[in-house]
Structure 1
Amino acid sequence: MSMQAGMRLGASGSGVRALCVLVHGRGQSPEEMERHILRRLDISDVAFALPRAPGGVWYDARAVDPLTDGTRSQLDEALKALHAEITALQGEYPGLPLLLAGFSQGACLSIEYVCRGHAAPDALAALTGCRVGTPSCERPDAAAANLPAYLSGSDADPWIPLAAMAEAALALGGRGLRLRADIFPGRQHEVSDAEIGMLAGMLSDLAAGQDPGLAAAR
């Protein structure tokens, strides 16, 4: 996958205390993530990288479809592109903590990234996400123990079934991640104020040199 130009927003230079790579969902764009998420964050010391998928899609299949060779190939390319984005941002600001975050398909891609066993980010925020594929599919399961992670979902979301989100939470919890999972009954395919509050709290903790407490009000 040839990464098209994404966006860099937020703090820069000596004012940066933490980093965040924020991955958009299917059919979305960095601009939509900026409007719907970043503008709602009261954060001044975080550098944000917002990668862009060609055509707005990281992979064609639904997250809960069985994995095919084609989907695995697309997923591999998307994960390589995400790894390059993370590496580039960390290269600009070496030594600073990084939160990997995503919404919907971007949340699924972020979960898959940590499950591949790459050098782990300092925290994960998967807003409305799940594992890609089904429980019967062969999938990497190498997420780092003790990684602070936040997963969210809804029983009314049309794209990520609640059962798939719960299955991901159980799998990551079983790996020993320091996990909080929130379910928002009736919430549509969007990011709620409570999820924004959690994201802001995680970033503030990282910028202060602390592990995310995952204690934002629900």
Structure 2
Amino acid sequence: MYTHKKQVISHGKPLSETGKALIMIHGRGASAESILSLADHLPVDDFSLFAPQATNHSWYPYSFMAPTEQNQPALDSALEQIHDLVKTIAGEGISSQNIYLLGFSQGACLASEYAARNAQQFGGLFLFTGGLIGPQLDTGNYKGDFQKTPVLITTGDPDPHVPVSRVEETVKVLEGINAVVTKKLYKGRPHTILQEEITLAMQILSGKERD
């Protein structure tokens, strides 16, 4: 078992110029560089981008629905890495409503779990094919108030890694702590990100969903 070495790749203009941060969390077997390439398709020229890198290219070793102890200590270490990054960005004078979290697959699971455990008014959450972590959800873990944070959560129906039922459970938890959730299920979609999902994310990033 393993813990994560702290490693973050940053891209774009510095926070002192943008005042907005997008944290991008890669999936299993992928890399910080690969998730950063998604930014080429998003309106993020006025964001500072941050992509943490998982040790062994995996945030935790087993399925996100495996018994939690099987994924330790990697899972707690991964959550700590995201928390430390958010604290570092906040320490630069960036308010939580100008911090956005994005993840794909295992990265979406980690993003949702971190955000639900530390609910506050984020700029937005983009959960591309993921859900909250654990064999059953322990609602005692989820604290705070999203204060109407916009959330996009998507998955294929079916998806080989993320059951639709867990996406539905995740929506219920996030809405229960005051997130505004857009859920999209795509029949027969492979384990990827579609253009429609990117378009929906663009609307949140540009602030159009608040108009």
Normalised to the residue count of structure 2, the TM-score between the two structures is 0.86
Does residue 152 of structure 2 align to residue 167 of structure 1?
Answer: no
1:23-61 CA-partner distances (Å, limit 9, x unpaired): 1111110111123x1121233101110000001111112
> Residue 72 of structure 1: CA displacement?
4.4
> Residue 151 of structure 1: CA displacement?
0.9
Asked if the contact 2:21/2:99 (under 8 Å) is kept, the reply is: yes
Q: Separation in 1 of the partners of 2:8 and 2:177?
A: 32
Q: Separation in 2 of the partners of 1:125 and 1:24?
A: 12
Asked if the contact 2:43/2:205 (under 8 Å) is kept, the reply is: no
Q: Separation in 2 of the partners of 1:53 and 1:39?
A: 22
CA RMSD of aligned residues (A): 2.4
Deviates more, 1:165-174 or 1:54-63: 165-174
Instruction: Please list, as runs of the form range in 1=range in 2, the aligned pairs for 1:103-182 lying within 5 A after superposition.
Output: 103-117=104-118, 121-135=122-136, 140-145=141-146, 146-182=148-184
Does residue 41 of structure 2 align to residue 40 of structure 1?
Answer: yes
Q: Separation in 2 of the partners of 1:135 and 1:151?
A: 19
SS of equivalent to 1:184: strand
Q: What are structure 2's unaligned runs of at least 5 residues?
A: none
SS of equivalent to 1:102: strand
> Residue 14 of structure 1: CA displacement?
5.2
Q: Separation in 2 of the partners of 1:18 and 1:201?
A: 16
Residue equivalent to 1:79: 79
Asked if the contact 1:150/1:214 (under 8 Å) is kept, the reply is: no
Asked if the contact 2:23/2:100 (under 8 Å) is kept, the reply is: yes
1:104-132 CA-partner distances (Å, limit 9, x unpaired): 11111111112213655332111111111
Asked if the contact 2:144/2:177 (under 8 Å) is kept, the reply is: yes
- Which amino acid counterpart does residue 92 of structure 1 have in structure 2? E
Sequence identity (%): 26
Q: Separation in 2 of the partners of 1:92 and 1:25?
A: 27
> Residue 7 of structure 1: CA displacement?
1.4
Residues 177 and 42 of structure 1, relative CA distance in 2, 3 Å threshold? closer
Q: What are structure 1's unaligned runs of at least 5 residues?
A: 206-211
> Residue 157 of structure 1: CA displacement?
2.1
Asked if the contact 1:155/1:184 (under 8 Å) is kept, the reply is: yes
Q: Separation in 2 of the partners of 1:136 and 1:181?
A: 19
1:60-112 CA-partner distances (Å, limit 9, x unpaired): 120122322x4243221111111111222333353470111111111111111
Q: Separation in 1 of the partners of 2:141 and 2:79?
A: 13
Q: Separation in 2 of the partners of 1:44 and 1:117?
A: 27
Asked if the contact 1:67/1:137 (under 8 Å) is kept, the reply is: no
Normalised to the residue count of structure 1, the TM-score between the two structures is 0.84
Q: Separation in 2 of the partners of 1:136 and 1:33?
A: 27
Structure 1 residue ranges (4+ consecutive) displaced by more than 4 angstroms after TM superposition: 136-139
Q: Separation in 1 of the partners of 2:119 and 2:176?
A: 18
- Which amino acid counterpart does residue 82 of structure 2 have in structure 1? L
Residue equivalent to 2:91: 91
Residues 139 and 73 of structure 1, relative CA distance in 2, 3 Å threshold? farther
Q: Select which of 188, 197, 203 maps to 1:186.
A: 188
